[in-house]
Structure 1
Amino acid sequence: MLTDRVRILVLCGLTCTLVACTGGEPAPPGRQATAPTATDPAPGAAGAGDPYYPADGNGGYDALGYEVTVRYEPGTNRLHGDTVLNARATKDLSRFNLDLRGFEVESVRVNDRPAEFRREGEFELVISPQRALAEAETFRVRVRYGGTPQSAGEGQLGANGWQRTGSGGALVLGQPHSAAYWYPVNETPRDKATFRLEATVPQGWTAVSIGREAGSETADGWTTTTWAESTPVASYLTTLAIGRFTLDRRTLADGTPVLDAYAAGAEPQRELGRRTGEIIEFLAGRFGPYPQRAAGGIYLDEPIGFSLETQGRPVYAEWADLETVVHELAHQWYGNSVSVRSWSDICLNECLASYAQWLWLEAKEGANLDARFRRIVEQTRNDGEFWSPKLHEMGAGNEFDGVYDKGPLAIHALRRQIGEESFARVLREWAAEHRDGNASWPEFERFVAGISGQDLDEFFANWFRGTGIPRPEHLLPGTLSG
């Protein structure tokens, strides 16, 4: 994510068979498949375990894939949804939760059988299947729902969730929350899953999302477009943008499809969109092969407070510039492919994506990064507000303080501390080792120490958990002291 405020700182089928739902061998001909038995069922947790957001996400199952079908009428701001979740139980389950903000839930089915459900708290949808689910059993949940999507209040970096656009369309975007504003979901980055969307809007409007465009047809005054993301995605990195878009299509050199969507008024951003391939090629030279199956961007003519790295196809605010595009595309490695385990680990996303902007300036414009670093240090040496935010263990609600300005300084200092060879290895090998998974900041510290062969405990404590300017020996390591 890159903000305006800190711009530089900036599958089970409908019939449950033994093979589909348990992963075993098919039942012999003429024999009925038997569902596994839960011997000690208990409710799944109503939270995924992130200490900063304890109610986010849910426990007891692993989401495997979402199949989301929505029909939206911009004139009335009404949405009807039909979402299928394919999941695997991680314990014997008597009931489990999904996250859904607003809407009237019309029905819930588990393995094609009606299930009991109720709403609890702000966004919990509690589901009790007819039969308890056994540990390791794969199962299918179908939720039908509808109503007026909830508008979110101001989040840390701007309005999160469902938003109406100036053109009369709609947009759902946000971090750490957004998915539950339009489909039932296990809303935690810890539970990544594949994603498929079939979105229907009135003819003349276009629904754009992440992943590959898998087809579009118009009939009876409505246009339905299908998007498919087969790479596991954290739910906040999904999106739906409905507008009167102009679409540009092409491919990268390796055949990866690129789709750029320009809202009315955002056509001047086409020059930025055309540089996507160049930027991805540059970043791949530093971070390794591009980890997504699609590329492009959604360019808005909206004064939202941030751009966001939605998977493969970031969403850009009206103020987005070239460095913003570099930043959001860097997230396709750091944040999207390698996702945080908890929100306290956000420096893995934002500090590294912000430093990608520095790498771009160094390579493309000949910027002297040591001189840039020393200049910023001198300008802020007595600025307690600049140095006080922690980059790890910062506390709930403070995750994005400091990561866009102090963050890239810290990463440059780390580069000079461990040297060019080790730093280049870190950028590539970390992304490769944790591809399509999750990781934590402490794991990153141990990884860097292992590659560099250095004891970096004090360095990391000063830069990433300190609340003041680092001690002199850590502030200016290597060539920075010259």
Structure 2
Amino acid sequence: MAGKSPRSPFPLSRALAAFSLVGALGACQALSGDGDGGPTPGPTGADSAGDPYVPGDGNGGYDVQHYRLKLAITPRDARELDGTAEITARATQPLSRFDLDLADLNVSSVTVNGRAARQRHDGEELVVTPERPLERGATFTTVVRYSGRPKTINDPQLGTYGWVRTSDGVFVACQPSGAHTWFPSNDHPSDKATFDFEITVPDGLTAIANGLPDRMPQGQEPGRPTPTTTPTTPAPTTGTPGVVPASHRRSTTTTWRVREPMATYLATVNVGRFAIRTGRTPSGVPVLSAVDPTLPSVSLAEFHDRNTRVTEELAKLFGPYPFGSTGGLVDNAAVNFALETQTRPVYGAFGADQTIIAHELAHQWFGDSVSVSRWQDIWLNEGFATYAEWIWGERIGLRTVQQQFDERYQDPGNTDLWNVPPGNPGRNEMFGSSVYERGGMTLHMLRKKVGDAKFFDILRTWARERRHGTGTTPQFVEVAERVSGQRLDAFFKAWLFDRGRPAL
């Protein structure tokens, strides 16, 4: 993410000991109350992924394969969201009960494999007890029907994110823990899945999500539905003359599909009035760019051209673009960050200059295709994207990468970089300057140590071998050592885990 300033996510935007998500995989053999009148015998899934950076996020006992989200969004309505989530998962252990993450929404029903299941809310956990226990290895489908007004997250350390309301709709940017404010999920990046979205919004508004629509739009005039929308004829109304119930208003429905696995925090649904441009990169990747037309400082033509050009050029550095589409969306959201939502990064009302676009699109390789399996390793996302931002800045005539490095290394007041180890920054600094800037500096020093050819071979190998999966810092170190033929443990310890400024 590039956040908190138009450059870095929340403020922008441990030694190499292995971190274990034991809680996400282990079974809890117990007799525990299900909240609906009786104990639940047998193994139950853990209620957390066990990641201390995001306490309570994620769950254990199953691996989600696919989310199908059917959403009706009526901005500013008392019942802003009506949702049906169909979640296909595989049990990784026997399960008599399991949890989904879901905060502050009303659940009307839950079924598992077509049979009614007992459910209760426990804080931000939706606890589900199937009619029949699930065997290890079984594939099962959970359907949750829910509604309400998703809450915007205002975190004292991480800032405002999640479901953010705009003047004409909503802007959704969920890093790290905002997905479960609008759909039930296993809300941790260690569990990635494919997605389908079916989104219904009032006539005159447009919904844009990740991936590709069933039909690629050819463009849109502000305030008119795109060619991907299907009008819904209003039903006859009764009651007070001149008042049309929300359920009877004209609406349009769009469908979007994400074919490659995606972490939940990278899912987005943006609703409003947008001008849209579509096309393809020279290598054939579909591009969809959207801009809120009330932002006169943002040129749709320039934004679309930059999305196209940056995607194409970064593929020459990092290897083939990992997804079926690219692009971006600029909305009139009062946030000061951008987020690398998969296939289509989203930007607040400040707009998107070339280096920010390079940052967010670099994340498509580093963060989206190769995701962190624990938030401690967020430098693998942000350090890499920051370094790509510096590379792009050098290409367009701004400061060179070396100048970016020198400016930070020689600044005596830049103590945040050296007091916070980017390889284990702690929750409060997981989006701090050290993760971004010292993370980028680490890559620059690696490049100088192993040479350009080996360095970019390391990045391409990492992106290729971990494509559509997850990775950790120790795993990246292994790739760097294998490709370079050098021992690098002391180097990474100094730059990622030690406090104090490393010697050059």
Q: 1:55-90 deviations in whole A, cap 9, x for unaligned?
A: 111000010000001111114152110110001100
SS at match of 2:299: helix
Once the two structures are TM-superposed, the CA of residue 367 in structure 1 deviates from its matched residue by 4.9
Q: Please, what TM-score do these two structures have when normalized by structure 1?
A: 0.88
Letter in 2 for 1:363: R
Letter in 1 for 2:277: D
1:397 to 412, 428, 443: 428
**1:82–1:145 contact (8 Å) kept in structure 2:** yes
**2:329–2:345 contact (8 Å) kept in structure 1:** yes
What is the alpha-carbon distance in structure 2 between the residues aligned to residue 265 and residue 66 of structure 1? 33
Q: 1:31-52 deviations in whole A, cap 9, x for unaligned?
A: xxxxxxxxx9410010113232
What is the alpha-carbon distance in structure 1 between the residues aligned to residue 258 and residue 408 of structure 2? 40
Letter in 1 for 2:131: Q
Matched, 1:217 2:226: no
Matched, 1:421 2:453: yes
Once the two structures are TM-superposed, the CA of residue 388 in structure 1 deviates from its matched residue by 1.3
What is the aligned partner in structure 2 of residue 467 from structure 1? 499
What is the aligned partner in structure 2 of residue 145 from structure 1? 146
What is the aligned partner in structure 2 of residue 198 from structure 1? 198
Segment of structure 1 superposing worse, 149-158 or 447-456: 149-158
1:440 to 464, 467, 472: 472
Once the two structures are TM-superposed, the CA of residue 409 in structure 1 deviates from its matched residue by 1.6
2:292 to 233, 245, 263: 263
- Alpha-carbon distance change, 318 to 157 in structure 1, aligned in 2, over 3 angstroms: farther
**1:70–1:199 contact (8 Å) kept in structure 2:** yes
What is the alpha-carbon distance in structure 1 between the residues aligned to residue 131 and residue 285 of structure 2? 44
Once the two structures are TM-superposed, the CA of residue 408 in structure 1 deviates from its matched residue by 1.5
Trace 1:125-140 onto structure 2 (pairs within 5 A): 125-140=126-141
**2:276–2:288 contact (8 Å) kept in structure 1:** yes
What is the alpha-carbon distance in structure 2 between the residues aligned to residue 434 and residue 153 of structure 1? 33
What is the alpha-carbon distance in structure 1 between the residues aligned to residue 4 and residue 59 of structure 2? 32
SS at match of 2:429: coil
SS at match of 1:404: helix
What is the aligned partner in structure 2 of residue 109 from structure 1? 111
What is the alpha-carbon distance in structure 2 between the residues aligned to residue 447 and residue 412 of structure 1? 16
What is the aligned partner in structure 1 of residue 463 from structure 2? 431
1:307 to 338, 344, 351: 338
What is the aligned partner in structure 2 of residue 98 from structure 1? 100
Structure 1: runs of 5 or more not aligned: 11-39, 476-482
What is the alpha-carbon distance in structure 1 between the residues aligned to residue 77 and residue 190 of structure 2? 35
2:280 to 251, 269, 281: 251
Once the two structures are TM-superposed, the CA of residue 139 in structure 1 deviates from its matched residue by 0.6
What is the aligned partner in structure 2 of residue 449 from structure 1? 481
Aligned-residue CA RMSD (Å) = 1.7
What is the aligned partner in structure 1 of residue 260 from structure 2? 231
Q: 1:441-471 deviations in whole A, cap 9, x for unaligned?
A: 111112112222222222111111122111x
What is the alpha-carbon distance in structure 2 between the residues aligned to residue 409 and residue 209 of structure 1? 34
SS at match of 2:420: coil
What is the aligned partner in structure 2 of residue 52 from structure 1? 53
Q: 1:344-398 deviations in whole A, cap 9, x for unaligned?
A: 01011000010001222333438543344223322x1353233212111222222
Letter in 2 for 1:266: L
SS at match of 2:73: strand
2:412 to 356, 381, 385: 381
What is the aligned partner in structure 2 of residue 285 from structure 1? 316
SS at match of 1:49: coil
What is the alpha-carbon distance in structure 2 between the residues aligned to residue 254 and residue 382 of structure 1? 45
What is the aligned partner in structure 2 of residue 362 from structure 1? 394
Matched, 1:66 2:54: no
State the aligned residue count. 440
Letter in 1 for 2:64: A
What is the alpha-carbon distance in structure 1 between the residues aligned to residue 290 and residue 428 of structure 2? 32
Q: 1:299-345 deviations in whole A, cap 9, x for unaligned?
A: 11223021000000000122221111000000000000000010001
SS at match of 1:397: helix
SS at match of 1:275: helix
What is the aligned partner in structure 2 of residue 22 from structure 1? none
What is the alpha-carbon distance in structure 2 between the residues aligned to residue 368 and residue 73 of structure 1? 47
Q: 1:253-303 deviations in whole A, cap 9, x for unaligned?
A: 333221112113235232122211110111001100000111111111223
SS at match of 2:87: strand
What is the alpha-carbon distance in structure 2 between the residues aligned to residue 105 and residue 265 of structure 1? 36
What is the alpha-carbon distance in structure 1 between the residues aligned to residue 55 and residue 157 of structure 2? 17
Q: 1:213-241 deviations in whole A, cap 9, x for unaligned?
A: 12421122100011100100000000111
Task: State, as a whole percentage, how many aligned pairs show the same letter.
Answer: 41
What is the alpha-carbon distance in structure 1 between the residues aligned to residue 42 and residue 93 of structure 2? 8
What is the alpha-carbon distance in structure 2 between the residues aligned to residue 368 and residue 325 of structure 1? 18
**1:68–1:198 contact (8 Å) kept in structure 2:** yes
What is the alpha-carbon distance in structure 1 between the residues aligned to residue 281 and residue 414 of structure 2? 44
**1:245–1:261 contact (8 Å) kept in structure 2:** yes
- Alpha-carbon distance change, 431 to 156 in structure 1, aligned in 2, over 3 angstroms: farther
What is the alpha-carbon distance in structure 1 between the residues aligned to residue 200 and residue 253 of structure 2? 4
SS at match of 1:47: coil
- Alpha-carbon distance change, 426 to 202 in structure 1, aligned in 2, over 3 angstroms: same
SS at match of 1:140: strand
